[in-house]
């Protein structure tokens, strides 16, 4: 039986499937959240049979989710071995990802600011509300939930930017960014929420320059927050 909500992530009880539009998406989002929070550690084995028992679903959505994660570079499939979580990327890859984000995301958010209609403004406000609602007394749960909503926020802006080639590139970059998301304290999510707020204000005002500047500042600050992690990487 499929259960709902990410509310118990990080607890000692069995993980619960995140509510989504389809069973396949639910399983994918649940595995993604476990990779983000390091409940599934980089390099560790991901047995299909074990995941079937853990999530109480059939093999079909498990395999579909693993294939999707493999395509995004978050999971590796080895012949005669099976699936495992991808290892932590190198420091060089980390720097390259942020360089690409700085080049592409300010451009996309500026385009998005010019493309918004009333329905899309409502969607933006709903995405913002979800990020705000991820606050909790448990820092690990808070960050895991926030990371999922943060990914949705950036993906939505990129989609609204309406450049398929750039969107495809950024989609892969953001997938790899998940591998750098360690268990931060809540003040990190608070900082990011404030930065997101400036992006949202600029989008709602249809101010392309302010949106681009706010996104650039957000990425630079994110890079700075991640610095202790990537400086320790080989």
Most confident of 53-62, 64-73, 80-89, 137-146: 53-62
Alpha-carbon distance of 156 to 91, in angstroms, equals 28
Asked if residue 3 is part of any domain, the answer here is no
Q: Which pLDDT belongs to residue 8?
A: 38
Q: What is the residue-averaged pLDDT of the chain?
A: 83
- Mean pLDDT over 26-53 rounds to 90
Task: Say whether both 71 and 120 belong to one domain.
Answer: no
89: left (phi over 0), alpha (psi -120 to 50) or beta: beta
Q: Which pLDDT belongs to residue 192?
A: 86
Task: Say whether both 27 and 58 belong to one domain.
Answer: yes
Q: Write out pLDDT tens, residues 153-191.
A: 999 999 999 999 999 889 878 777 766 665 444 456 778
- Answer with the one of 85, 102, 133 that is the final residue of a domain: 85
SS3 label, residue 215: helix
Number of domains in the chain: 2
Q: Which residues contact 212 (CB under 8 A, 6 or more apart)?
A: 106, 107, 109, 110
Q: Percentage of residues in the chain with pLDDT exceeding 70? A: 80
Q: Write out the residue range of the structural domain in which residue 220 sits.
A: 91-230
Nearest C-alpha neighbor of 154 from the set 195, 93, 122, 188? 195
Q: Where does the pLDDT of residue 73 fall: very low under 50, low under 70, confident under 90, or very high at 90 and above?
A: confident
Task: Say whether both 74 and 106 belong to one domain.
Answer: no
**Per-residue pLDDT at 196 exceeds 90:** yes
Task: Say whether both 162 and 59 belong to one domain.
Answer: no
CATH code: domain of residue 54: 1.10.10.10
Strand 82-85 with 75-78, pairing: antiparallel
- Answer with the one of 39, 70, 85 that is the final residue of a domain: 85
Alpha-carbon distance of 56 to 223, in angstroms, equals 38
Asked if residue 204 is part of any domain, the answer here is yes
Task: Say whether both 214 and 111 belong to one domain.
Answer: yes
Asked if residue 8 is part of any domain, the answer here is no
Asked if residue 73 is part of any domain, the answer here is yes
Count of C-beta atoms within a 10 Å radius of residue 119: 8
Alpha-carbon distance of 122 to 128, in angstroms, equals 10
């Amino acid at each position: 039986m499929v259960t709902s909500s990410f509310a118990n992530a990080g607890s000692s009880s069995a993980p619960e499937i995140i509510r989504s539009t389809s069973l396949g998406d639910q399983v994918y989002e649940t595995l993604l959240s476990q990779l983000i929070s390091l409940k599934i550690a980089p390099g560790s084995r991901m047995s299909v049979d074990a995941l079937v028992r853990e999530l109480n679903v059939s093999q079909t959505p498990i395999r579909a989710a693993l294939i999707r994660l493999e395509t995004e570079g978050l999971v590796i499939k080895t012949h005669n071995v099976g699936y495992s979580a991808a290892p932590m990327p190198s420091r060089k890859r980390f720097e390259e990802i942020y360089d690409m984000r700085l080049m592409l995301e300010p451009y996309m958010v500026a385009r998005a600011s010019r493309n918004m209609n009333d329905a899309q403004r409502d969607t933006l406000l709903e995405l913002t509300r979800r990020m705000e609602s991820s606050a909790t007394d448990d820092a690990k749960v808070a960050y895991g939930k926030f990371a999922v909503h943060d990914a949705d926020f950036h993906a939505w802006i990129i989609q609204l930017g309406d450049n398929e080639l750039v969107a495809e590139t950024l989609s892969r970059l953001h997938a790899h960014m998940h591998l750098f998301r360690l268990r931060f304290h809540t003040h990190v999510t608070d900082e990011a929420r404030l930065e997101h707020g400036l992006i949202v204000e600029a989008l709602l005002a249809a101010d392309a320059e302010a949106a681009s500047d706010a996104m650039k500042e957000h990425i630079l600050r994110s890079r700075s927050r991640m610095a202790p992690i990537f400086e320790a990487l080989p």
